[in-house]
């Protein structure tokens, strides 16, 4: 099993032992940047990171999910550190992070152009996401409120 940072070149298979979530985590209005795996008190958890596909680049992260729930992950909060997987000061580093769009991780003057190139590549690889959709977290949360959390577990959003 890989550890640290894994660069997932589009169109190439991931290293042995890693599940490929690239197409499963693509969402309307968003471009998947990366995902990570952490060991927590509740077991292994995965977090996905995205950037908006149009307009100002806004960075988002999902809640931590169990492996079986991870493909249904949705953005839950703004992300300030998608490039290294550490969201909050003092949080443990992930066991590994899979970068699938490293050129889009940071604010970049060429962001619009880079996103268009990456979107074209995603479409060529079979992504059916609507990249023209204007994704705003606040609007999406109103549209799809979180289901209640039970016994300390994070559940995926409805929809």
- Point out which residues pair with 6 in neighbouring strands: 98
Residue 96 phi/psi, 5-degree rounding, is -155, 160
The count of structural domains within the chain is 1
Residue of 153, 146, 156 whose CA lies nearest to 43: 153
Q: Establish if 156 belongs to a structural domain.
A: no
Q: Which two tokens stand for residue 77?
A: 């909060």
Q: Which two tokens stand for residue 122?
A: 């995603």
Residue whose entry in the numeric block shows the structure tokens 């940047």: 33
pLDDT in tens, 52-83: 999 988 999 999 999 999 999 999 998 875 55
Q: Establish if 29 belongs to a structural domain.
A: yes
Residue of 84, 77, 125 whose CA lies nearest to 102: 84
Residue 123 phi/psi, 5-degree rounding, is -65, -40
Q: Establish if 9 belongs to a structural domain.
A: yes
Q: Establish if 90 belongs to a structural domain.
A: yes
Residue whose entry in the numeric block shows the structure tokens 């479409």: 123
pTM: 0.83
Q: Establish if 46 belongs to a structural domain.
A: yes
pLDDT in tens, 95-150: 899 999 888 877 777 888 899 999 999 999 999 999 999 999 999 988 876 543 43
Q: Establish if 125 belongs to a structural domain.
A: yes
pLDDT at 82: 52
Q: Establish if 133 belongs to a structural domain.
A: yes
Structural domain that includes position 70: 4-143
In angstroms, the Cα distances linking 32 to 76, 105, 137 are 14, 10, 15
Q: Establish if 148 belongs to a structural domain.
A: no
pLDDT at 81: 56
**How would you list the strands of the sheet with 75-78, edge to edge?**
4-7, 96-99, 30-40, 43-52, 59-62, 75-78
Give the number of other CB atoms < 10 A from CB of residue 75.
Answer: 24
């Amino acid at each position: 099993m890989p550890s640290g940072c894994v660069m997932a070149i589009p169109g190439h298979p991931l290293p042995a032992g890693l599940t490929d979530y690239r197409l499963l985590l693509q969402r309307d209005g968003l471009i998947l940047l990366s995902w990570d795996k952490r060991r927590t008190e509740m077991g292994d958890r995965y977090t996905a990171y995205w950037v908006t596909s149009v307009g100002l680049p806004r960075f988002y992260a999902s809640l931590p999910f169990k492996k079986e729930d991870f493909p249904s992950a949705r953005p839950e909060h703004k992300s300030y550190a998608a490039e290294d997987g550490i969201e909050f000061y003092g949080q443990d580093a992930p066991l590994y992070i899979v970068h699938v769009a490293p050129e889009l991780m940071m604010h970049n003057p060429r962001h619009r152009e880079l996103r268009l190139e990456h979107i074209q590549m995603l479409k060529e690889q079979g992504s059916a996401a609507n990249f023209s959709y204007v994704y705003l977290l606040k609007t999406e949360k109103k549209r799809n409120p979180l289901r209640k959390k039970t016994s300390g577990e994070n559940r995926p959003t409805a929809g």
